[in-house]
Amino acid sequence: MSDAARVENPLRPGRVILRRYAAYLAATLAVLAMAQQIIVAETDWARMGSAAELLREAAAFLPNLAFMPEVLFPLLETLLMALWGTAMAVALSIPIAYLAAKNISPFYPLAYGFGRGVIVLSRSTHEIIFALLFVSALGLGPLPGILALGCRSVGFMAKTTAEAIENVIPGPIEAIEATGAGPIKVFLFGVVPQVFPIWVGNVIFQLDINLRRASILGLVGAGGIGLMFAEKMQMLEYDKAGSVVLGITAMVIVGEYFSNRIRTRLI
């Protein structure tokens, strides 16, 4: 962009460079001003104390390894919530993907707009917000958590599935139509086999992501290991809270490893 400007206006290179540095300077100043306002001004530095004190406080969170076995069951619960949440998202995403795929959406653009709207809502609302709403409607426990996960990830599933449907190669569909097959059979034999591998990859990816999401839902009472973390924090048992974080971290790393392995093997 600026290179071209330089060639066209040989008399103005200095000004172009100057303007660029002025922009950098302005951006840096803006960031520093923000830092001044929200870090320096709004932080209670007196409470924080010396670096040594901070380190001591941080050290209180060092995981208590003896506590680790107790973390296992809530972790399992979290995993199962992620499974159910993903299953729910998958089930809901299929009709929504149908509506949101431009090439097959009925009553265009009405149903298409609806499908896209659901996708945007689902994708831009944090799982914690969903969880709070469901907890306030249904009470505590894993059920609102599962619903929150489902609502949170249905958008991604529907979006990627709709895109896969939009990118289907038309040749095989034409061939299936030419055999005299009706729309359902054309979908089953022409569209599904093409979309399926992409879809499976996305389901596994969502499962991996939902594992992370499920682990914090307990903070607002929506089940899973987050609840244990909140309890330990409340009881000031920081070492056990640290163990919970360690457990989640380990589970998420293992989950991501398997998710990557499976997805690379699928392709």
Other CB atoms within a 10 A radius of the CB of residue 116 amount to: 20
Q: Which is nearer to other proteins, 8 or 44 (CB)?
A: 44
Q: Distance (Å, rounded) from C-alpha 172 to C-alpha 178? A: 10
Angstrom CA distances, 105 to 91, 95, 111, stand at 18, 10, 7
Q: Rule CB under 8 A: which of 22-51 touch other proteins?
A: 31, 34-35, 37-39, 42-44, 47-48
Six-digit token string for 51: 């670096």
Residue among 4, 7, 11, 253 that touches other proteins (CB under 8 A): 253
Stretch in the footprint of other proteins (CB under 8 A) among 3-11, 96-104, 106-114, 118-126: 118-126
Q: Rule CB under 8 A: which of 2-21 touch other proteins?
A: none
Beta carbon of residue 190, minimum distance to other proteins (angstroms, whole number): 7
Does 256 participate in binding other proteins (rule CB under 8 A)?
Answer: yes
What region does 92 belong to: left with phi over 0, alpha with psi -120 to 50, or beta?
Answer: alpha
Does 245 participate in binding other proteins (rule CB under 8 A)?
Answer: yes
Q: Rule CB under 8 A: which of 62-81 touch other proteins?
A: 76-77, 80-81
DSSP string, 192-240: HHHHHHHHHHHHHHHHHHHHHHHHHHGGGTSSSHHHHHHHHHHTT-HHH
Stretch in the footprint of other proteins (CB under 8 A) among 63-71, 106-114, 159-167, 225-233: 225-233
- Measured on CA atoms in the order 164, 149, 90, 102, is the torsion positive or negative? negative
Six-digit token string for 230: 């909140």
Q: Residue 160: exposed, middle, or buried by beta-carbon count in 10 A (0-12, 13-18, 19+)? A: buried
Looking at residue 264, its amino acid is: T
Beta carbon of residue 18, minimum distance to other proteins (angstroms, whole number): 21
Q: Which is nearer to other proteins, 26 or 250 (CB)?
A: 250
Q: Which is nearer to other proteins, 22 or 31 (CB)?
A: 31
Q: Rule CB under 8 A: which of 125-184 touch other proteins?
A: 125-126, 128-129, 132-134, 136-138, 141-143, 146-147, 171-172, 174-182, 184
Residue among 113, 194, 237, 263 that touches other proteins (CB under 8 A): 194
Beta carbon of residue 156, minimum distance to other proteins (angstroms, whole number): 13
- Measured on CA atoms in the order 220, 226, 228, 232, is the torsion positive or negative? negative
